[in-house]
């Protein structure tokens, strides 16, 4: 019997339990307390003094941001097509219409040239989106300065979906500090976790105060329960914030470990037809997940073949996100380009990437990948 190797698992440092114990000992077991304050303050310190609001999920964080930006029924919001659905659902919560934009080949993220093309056309038709959500895919930053300049030219608000990129940098700056608003996720599979949770990161303190009120059932500052607008129960608990405090202390270690995993795969699998996703010159990839691409010129194995084969070795792998324009839910949605995302989806695979993987685990994955690829060589040309 072997131990199953998962795609990406929580990796506690030990300190988390101390903060959780403090919450129990002091009976701060609800949605206010010292762990929440300290977690937000520590994140703020890490992220260039940006203001932080801990919430129940990354999806909730994005929802709060879109509402704050005034996104409403019938508005358009542009977003990367190559992403997880959590980037897009908050657009629907606001009754708005997603417009999907294709990737560039350098980082797999939003293509600035396409953003320019799309916004120019949208302006001509009087249909500019209210906002654009730029996703930093798998821990790699998009070329945000280029995108931000274009958004400024057209007066479109820019939001970073940094759910996958905490710990990554862009031109020496931390992710989630390169636009006015960003969302983080601490879901169980992310680079650091609170079991489930998220954060709003914003430049403007008043924006955070407004979103905090909405996340807290939109209670007005009055003892006798006054409400003048719709709210949500999006708060994070002080217990979970204790986990977040401990996790944030080891973020740099976790990034280093994940980057090491990616490099080990790249070295060991060289020449097999699997190529590590590029690290764009503009930043440091956190390698939240190791993404590799199968070169059809070198192997006939497709991502799903490899996923299935690895499952037989008790190893979990996943294809790259299925682009949003390929989803049943969005079959009628407006989509600008899509061929690059289609290609990345058709050839990309995410290998086990946990920061807690041992060398023995990595050897097991590498051998299983090698054996699978060796079984299916490209046929010699006639
Ligand atoms: C995980 C993720 C989300 C959603 O975060 P949750 O905390 O799971 O709600 C949003 N966008 C991207 C790109 C993600 O990977």
Judge if the beta carbon of residue 58 lies within 6 A of ligand 1: yes
- Phi/psi-derived region of residue 271, left when phi > 0, alpha when psi is between -120 and 50, beta in every other case: left
**Ligand 1 centroid – CA 248 distance (Å):** 18
- The secondary structure element, H or E, covering residue 52 is strand 51-55
Token representation of residue 50: 């940006």
- Among residues 37, 22, 90, 25, the alpha carbon closest in space to that of 61 is found at 90
Judge if the beta carbon of residue 87 lies within 6 A of ligand 1: yes
Nearest ligand 1 atom to the CA of 197 is: 7
| Model pLDDT for residues 208-256, shown as the tens digit of each residue | 999 999 999 999 988 888 999 999 999 999 999 999 999 999 999 999 9
Residue with CA closest to ligand 1 atom 10:
86
CA distance linking residue 146 with residue 113, whole number of Å: 9
**Does this model's pTM top 0.75?**
yes
- The secondary structure element, H or E, covering residue 149 is helix 144-154
Nearest ligand 1 atom to the CA of 137 is: 13
Residue with CA closest to ligand 1 atom 3:
86
- The secondary structure element, H or E, covering residue 173 is strand 173-174
DSSP code of residue 192? S
**Ligand 1 centroid – CA 159 distance (Å):** 14
**Ligand 1 centroid – CA 187 distance (Å):** 7
CATH of the structural domain 252-374, one choice from 3.40.50.800, 3.90.1150.10, 3.20.20.480, 3.40.640.10: 3.90.1150.10
CA distance linking residue 64 with residue 75, whole number of Å: 16
What are the structural domain ranges in the chain? Answer: 15-250, 252-374
Token representation of residue 97: 């219409």
**Ligand 1 centroid – CA 60 distance (Å):** 9
CA distance linking residue 335 with residue 261, whole number of Å: 35
**Ligand 1 centroid – CA 58 distance (Å):** 5
For 56, residues 6+ apart whose C-beta sits below 8 A from its C-beta are 196, 197, 198, 215, 233, 234, 235, 236
Judge if the beta carbon of residue 187 lies within 6 A of ligand 1: yes
For 164, residues 6+ apart whose C-beta sits below 8 A from its C-beta are 84, 135, 136, 137, 138, 139, 185, 190, 191, 286, 288, 289
Judge if the beta carbon of residue 185 lies within 6 A of ligand 1: yes
Could you tell me the strand order of the sheet in which 169-170 lies? 173-174, 169-170, 283-284
Nearest ligand 1 atom to the CA of 164 is: 15
For domain 15-250, which architecture applies?
3-Layer(aba) Sandwich (3.40)
User: Ligand 1 pocket test: which of 66, 86, 88, 141 has the largest number of ligand atoms within 8 Å of its C-beta?
Assistant: 86
Low-confidence ranges of the chain (pLDDT < 70): 1, 377-382
**Ligand 1 centroid – CA 270 distance (Å):** 31
| pLDDT of res. 2 | 76
Judge if the beta carbon of residue 303 lies within 6 A of ligand 1: no
Token representation of residue 7: 């795609």
Largest CA distance in the chain: 82
Judge if the beta carbon of residue 80 lies within 6 A of ligand 1: no
| Model pLDDT for residues 250-259, shown as the tens digit of each residue | 999 999 999 9
112 to each of 20, 141, 289, 334, 338, how far by Cα in Å?
Answer: 43, 13, 24, 18, 14
Torsions phi, psi for 341 (to 5 deg):
-60, -40
């Amino acid at each position: 019997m072997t131990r199953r190797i998962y795609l990406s698992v929580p990796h506690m440092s030990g300190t988390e339990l101390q903060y959780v114990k403090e919450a129990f000992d002091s009976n701060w077991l609800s949605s206010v307390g010292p762990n929440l304050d300290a977690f937000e303050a520590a994140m703020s310190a890490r992220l260039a003094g940006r203001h932080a609001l801990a919430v129940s999920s990354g999806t909730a964080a994005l929802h709060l941001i879109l509402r704050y930006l005034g996104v409403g029924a019938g508005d358009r919001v542009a977003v990367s097509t190559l992403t997880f659905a959590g980037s897009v659902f908050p657009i629907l919560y606001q009754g708005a219409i997603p417009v999907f934009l294709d990737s560039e080949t350098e980082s797999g993220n939003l293509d600035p040239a396409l953003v320019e093309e799309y916004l120019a056309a949208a302006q001509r038709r009087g249909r500019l989106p209210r906002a654009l959500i730029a996703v930093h895919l798998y821990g790699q930053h998009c070329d945000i300065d280029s995108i931000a300049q274009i958004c400024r030219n057209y007066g479109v608000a820019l939001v970073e979906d940094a759910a996958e990129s905490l710990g990554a940098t862009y031109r020496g700056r931390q992710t989630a500090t390169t636009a006015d608003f960003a969302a983080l996720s601490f879901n169980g599979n992310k680079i650091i976790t609170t079991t489930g949770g998220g954060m709003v990161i914003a430049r403007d303190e008043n924006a955070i105060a407004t979103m905090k009120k909405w996340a807290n059932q939109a209670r007005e500052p009055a003892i006798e329960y006054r409400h003048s607008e719709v709210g949500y129960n999006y708060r994070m608990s002080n217990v979970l914030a204790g986990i977040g405090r401990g996790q944030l202390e080891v973020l740099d270690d976790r990034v280093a470990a994940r980057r090491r995993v990616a490099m080990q795969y790249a070295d060991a699998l060289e020449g097999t037809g699997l190529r590590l996703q590029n690290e764009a010159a503009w930043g440091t990839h956190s390698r939240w997940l190791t993404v590799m691409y199968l070169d059809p010129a070198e192997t006939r194995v497709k991502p799903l073949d490899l996923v299935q084969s690895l499952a037989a070795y008790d190893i979990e792998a996943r294809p790259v996100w299925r682009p949003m324009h390929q989803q049943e839910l969005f079959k009628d949605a407006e989509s600008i380009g899509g061929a690059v995302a289609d290609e990345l989806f058709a050839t990309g695979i995410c290998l086990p990437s946990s920061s807690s993987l041992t060398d023995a685990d990595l050897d097991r994955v590498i051998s299983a990948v090698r054996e699978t690829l060796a079984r299916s060589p490209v046929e010699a040309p006639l």
